[in-house]
Every structure is written in structure tokens, then in C-alpha cells.
Structure 1
Amino acid sequence: MNYSTLKKVFAASALAVAGISAASAQDTTATTSSSTATVFGGRGQYRTWSIGVNAGVLTPIIPFGTNDYNEWDAQFGAGLFIKKQLAPSFALKLDGHLGTVAGEYATNDGRTPLPAGVAPSFKTEINYAVSLKGVINVGTVSFLNRTKNVGFFVQGGAGLVNYEPDANNRNELFIPVGVGANFKLGEVVALNLGYDANFLDADNLDGSWRNGASNKDKWSYAYAGLEFALGNRAKPSLQWSNPVALMYDELKDPTLRQEVEALRNRVNTLEGTVNQLSADADGDGVSDRFDKCPGTPAGTVVDGAGCPIKLQDTTGATFNGQSAVIQFEFDSSVLRTSSYPVLDAVATDLKANSAARINLAGHASAEGTEQYNMNLSRDRANSVKTYLVNSGVDANRVTVRAYGESRPVASNATEEGRVLNRRVEITK
């Protein structure tokens, strides 16, 4: 092993990190305040993009498996990445690094001597190794705080590597798998420490030498670097957000409790107002709050203000003293409950006089098209017929006619007149 090279690389990385940390000390102090994010504020309240640079050592081995060349040299490597945080616990990262891997073949561990013509050492330039990785944040040491200061991650993905093990330039697929830790230095800067084991889909990274059966090559990249959050500095970074602690803090927040109590009071007030608006003591279909004629007798046909309507009966016909005109709401063919006593009287009269027949003439006010009002007036007449048939009247004794808006009994220029025109006339 080339321990001298290894020491130099780590020393240079430590000095760089120390310099950046000192420069960002003021920013670190300013960022100890709590996050401004809220539980249901959405992803837009966070910064989700970041970029990073790193440097470290490349070696042609990993901690497990068999390596063709058993002695390795630590070589300098450098990398950069861009990352999109999709959730506090998951991100996608486009990652890349380059450098050199080198090693020697020694027999001091009992290995057989190299065949003739096989080089006892190799040195391969990795021009680039680019991969798309998924990064999973698996833990933190500050799980009680809204924002984390230290986080641990695992990552993995797939990519393409370009290298020159001999005179030929090669492109091969590889699988990177890694672990690491992040240390928050401020709202913008974080320190990354990581280790990636890279599995090559080929056996030529160390030249043409193959130790026994097929043994695809691997290389490691151990690094330290800096990550910079992009976007508005007033927003916290999503990767440092702790949703569990954030939710717990908000539930215990006295301001939130006051808002919930105020909301409860507003709901109670609204329910009281609705009850007042819906109260209808005389049952005429107009709430007491707007009823200008309270206390009207049951069955009285009223207008929108709750006052009795003087109905015009075109034939003068009455049934058990009840007027023979049924009124309807605007654009509706549904019977009012106040019409039931009138219709019950009609049904009683018809059942007592088996030879009697009646006509139901449906009418409408002038809003809408003529065809629409014709259909609406027919539906109103059929609603009356259905009620009478369900009350025991033979359907053959009831004739339905529709007149639409063609036969008004009052002016359609006023609401009072339109109320009178929304009707079904019952004639013998």
C-alpha cells in the first residue's frame, strides 16, 4: 500500500474542509434558529435542489470479494453532483467522478507467480464515471429537532464509466453502492463524507490479467466534499427537515392551539346562524328570519316572503274548501310540503265521486326557453298526478296538459307575478 499518498490526500481534504467551515461559521450561527416550515405547507416552502463537489482516494479494491491485483495504491480522485430532494428521506442524484486506479500483483500472500507476459502492475485512468443514484436518508442524531444537523445515508444506482486500461478507450456499465454522512454547516453549506463501492460489468479495469475464473473488477471511491443548497436562502432545505419533530412541535404550539380554538368558536357561531336561518315555525317553507307573515295556517300557499298568495282558480273549482292551484319553486317540479293538504283534499274528493275526472294544467314563468318551460310545466303536472295516484286515485281519471309560459295569470316582469305563474291548475 502507498500510505504516503493516502495521508497526503486526507490531509489536503481536511485542510479544505476546515477552511470552508471557518468561512461559514457566521452563517452556521445564524442558522440555528428553528425552521419556518409548517406541516401542511407543501414542498414549495423548501429548497430541494443542491450541487456538490468532493475529493478523495480511488482504489481498485472493495472490502469484500476477490481482486486480481492484491496490492493497491491510493490515487487522487475528484467528483461533483447535482441532487433533487423529493422527500426528507429520499433524493435523486446525478453523480460523477474521475481519477486513477493503480495496483500491483504480489505473491507474499501465497499467490502463484504471474504468467509470462502479464504486467506485475497496472495504472488505469478513469476519464469519467457518471451514474444516477437514489439516496435514502436512514437516520439522524438530532431526531428531536425540526431540522437535522447530522444525517446518515445509503445510495445506489447505475451508470456508465469511461477508462483506458491499455491503448484502447472503453465504455462499460457499472453499479455504484455507497454509504455516508452529512453534516450541516449552515443553511447553504453541508459537509459530505462517503464511500462508494463500484461494481464494473467487465474484467478489464486492471488490464487483461484475470485471476482464475471470471472475476469482474471493482473500485472504491472514499471522499469528503461540500454540498451547496440552491434557491431562496429564506427557505429551509428539504433534506434537513424532520417531519416527525415538525408535526410534534406544531401540535404543541400554543399559537396553533389558539387558532384551533378560534376556529371552533367560528364553527359554533356558524351553526347557530344556520339554525336561525332554517327555523320555520309555521311550516310554510319560508324561514322565520325572512318570513314577513309568520303564523300562516297549515296548507296556505305563500310567496317568497311567507305571505299568503291570492290564487286565481280559472274554474272556481274547490276541493273540500281547498284552492285548486298548486305552486312550485323556481325551476323545480318538486312538490312543496305545504301542497300536501290541498292534494289530499283533491284525492278524497275524487275517491268519494267515482265518476269525477280532473285535468292538470302545468304552467311556468317566463325564465328560460319556451321548450324548457314546456317540459318543466309537464313535469310539474306529472308530479301532481303521481301524488294523486299514490293516494289511491285511478290514473285514467287524471289528464295532464302542459302550457309552458303561454298562459300567465300575472306579469312575468315582477317576482311576485312569476311566483304566481309557477303552478299547476286542477280543474274538473
Structure 2
Amino acid sequence: MPDTTQAQTIEDKTWISIFLSHNEIDADGYTEMGKFNIPKDMGGGIAIDRYLSPSFDLNAGLYLGRVDNEFTAQFSKYMINTNITAEYKFANGYIVEEDAAIQPFLLGGLGYAWFEKGSVPNNSPAVSTVTIPFGAGFDIPLSDNVSFTAKSVYNRTFEDGIDGYDYDDQSHDDVLIHTIGLKFRLGKVEDSDKDGIRDSEDACPTVMGTIATNGCPDRDGDTVIDSEDRCPNQAGLVEFQGCPDTDADGLANYEDQCPNIAGSKEFNGCMDSDNDGVSDKADQCPNVAGTVATNGCPDSDGDKVRNAVDACPNTKGTMQNEGCPAVKAEIEKEVNLIFNNIYFATDKAQIHESSMESLDKLYTILEDDKELNLHLAGHADSRDTKEYNMQLSIDRANAVKQYLVSKGIDSSRIETEGYGETKPIASNTSKDGKTRNRRVELTLSYN
């Protein structure tokens, strides 16, 4: 059942009241108002309450009891009192909450009272009169179906002979009736889904839910109803539509790329340990600050080739040249001319005299740009054995290197390699072809 009981509402329109009463008369020459002589003035009754609106109920009551003069034995009569009153409820949602613990009201209306024939005084006749009832009371809800009720109703009559006397200036005898009793709902509370929450207060009246979610289902118990819960099977937070934030970094798990490690929104919930602007999840070098372009790895020369694979880590180059700069086109052109003018004597590693001028140009190129390195690949024609030709090609490459070193080029800048007769560029069946195959190829680079 809900934690709080409810006021009479449009859902439960009709209630029945059973009560005890205490009756006090204001008659000729005396008054009992406010004087409770319980053994002599008790009574009881029944009433029907009908809901009209949040502010008004209609009440029809029947009261049975006795009125008398408690000071003498000269007056005592039984009475029947009926009235129909409108009750203005303060617990209407405007003045007091409708489910308030105490629900006060005012009342007023029209009634009818009958008083029996009395033996004294003077065999007074039975009396009936129209009344104008008005008063106040309060209800205390005990459950959805039962309320405690108490009220005091002053019945203004238009009859002065109720007590059998008429010897003062008051032209009417009035009766004040105090009642206490219980009100019972007629019918039952509608609860279609049997979740203990009445349909009128149930946000999901056809689906069993919980009190915390106004009658709607909440499978994971996170107070976010299933129809609005983005993660209905995982307890989460209201601010994340019912989804969890396992690492408490302010991002729900469904949008957190690192849901178990507290990170930042900038990196979709992941950390950036080296503060290089690349999240650890995407950082190939998570413990060393790098650049976005190199996936978080260092790139000292800013050429977008990370240091680890950059053959020239301190010189800006290109990806195609493994991070080294490209050799200028005019230098490449000049080297090609030099290559075409390096010749060797037959069957020897001796450089032909006609090639010296070209080698001097090569020296000048290397001397002018000390970042340039040279790769020398020696080749031979097909005469003699393969082993001999391989060694001869190596010796020819070294001969060029030695010449350049003798001119002052650091030997560490020159790499040599021999291929023997394995890579001819012309046919070895002619003299010209053999001459062309006896060569040293030149490759300049910055790596």
C-alpha cells in the first residue's frame, strides 16, 4: 500500500459515516452550550458523504439523541435531526495538500428537526422545525478505506417551544451537536495492475510498478522507469537516463570509451597520461608526449614521421623518404650525369682517368651538403667467375669511396655494396655492353 492515505477523491466518490453524538440545547432562560453531561445527552447517527470537487463534498446526515435541562427534571425530549450540508474542504491542494494528515472543513446547509411530545412541562406537544445547520470539523485518514471524523454542527431553529417554555426574549431554541465517528469507503480502490497504487495515482496503471516510480516498472531499481531508462537492466543514475557511470568520470558507460578508467570528456572518458592531446587508448606512445599526427609518439622535426621510424629524426622530411628530406632534383640530375661518366679498366678496380672530373663533382656535392649520404653499388660484366666478379664489384665500389675519403669526405657517410654480374644493365655479348655493366651506381640520400 502507499505510504500515505488519501482524501476523498473523484475516484472514491461515496463514503458512509457512523458516529456518536453529544447534544446541547440553548433554550429559554438557560443554555447547555459547552457543557458536556455525557450520560444524559448522548446520541448517534449515520451520514452519507458525496465527492463534488477537490474543494467541496455534499453530506446528508441523520442524528438520533436526547436534549434536556440538566439543571432540573422539568424538560427532557428525544429528537430526530436531519440535514443536508455542503462541506468546504481546506485539503483541496490549494490551501492544504489533499493527502494531509488532518483535513479540516467548514459546513453549512439546510435541515429538519423533530422533537417528541413531552410529559413535562404541561404535556408539551411534539415540535418540528426547519433548521439552518453550520459548523466545522476535520477528517483524519487512517487508510485508503477508513477515516476518523469529528465535527460540531450548530442547528439554528425557527421554534421557541422545544423546551415547553416561552418566557424570554429569545424566539428560538437551538441545538449544538458534537460528533465523532468513522467514515468508510463505499466500493473499493481501483488498482488494475495490483501494485498497491490506486489507478488515479498510478502513472502506469496497467503495468505493475513501484511506489518510488509512481507505479511504473523499474527493473534495475534505480528510480528511472523502464520506459525512460536507456539501460533498463543496469542500475544507473537519473542524469544518465538510468545508465551507469562505472568510473565516475561524468560520462555514462555507453558513451565512455574507457568505462573502467576515470578520464575526461575531451577524450571520451579515457586518460591522456602524457598530456599530448591523444588519449591513452589511441596513443601508440602513451608514456611519452607526442603529437596527434603521429598517434601520440614524439616527432622532433615535425614531419609527421615518429622518431622511432624516422631515419632523420632531427631533420624534417617526408614519409616516402622514411622521415628524411628528398634530394633536390637538380642534384639528382647532376648525379645521374656523374654516374654515366665513371668507368673502370677491364678486369680491375682502377678508376679510369676520364672519370676523375666527375668524381670531383661528386665530392663537391657531398662537401656542400654535409647531411647528404652516399650509397655505392658496384657491378661487373660476366667475364670470369661469379665469385671473382662479386669481389671485383665490391672493390670498385670501395675504390670510389676511397677516392672521396681521400678528398676529405667522412667515411661514415659512404656505404658500399657489391652485386657482381647479377644486375646487368646491358648485354654482356658486346664490348659496349660489358663497358656499361662495369659500373658503380650512386644514390644520394639523407638517411
TM-score under structure 1 length normalisation:
0.39
Higher helix share: 1
Higher relative contact order (CA 8 A, sep 6+): 1
Higher strand share: 1
Indicate the structure (1 or 2) with the bigger Cα radius of gyration.
Answer: 2
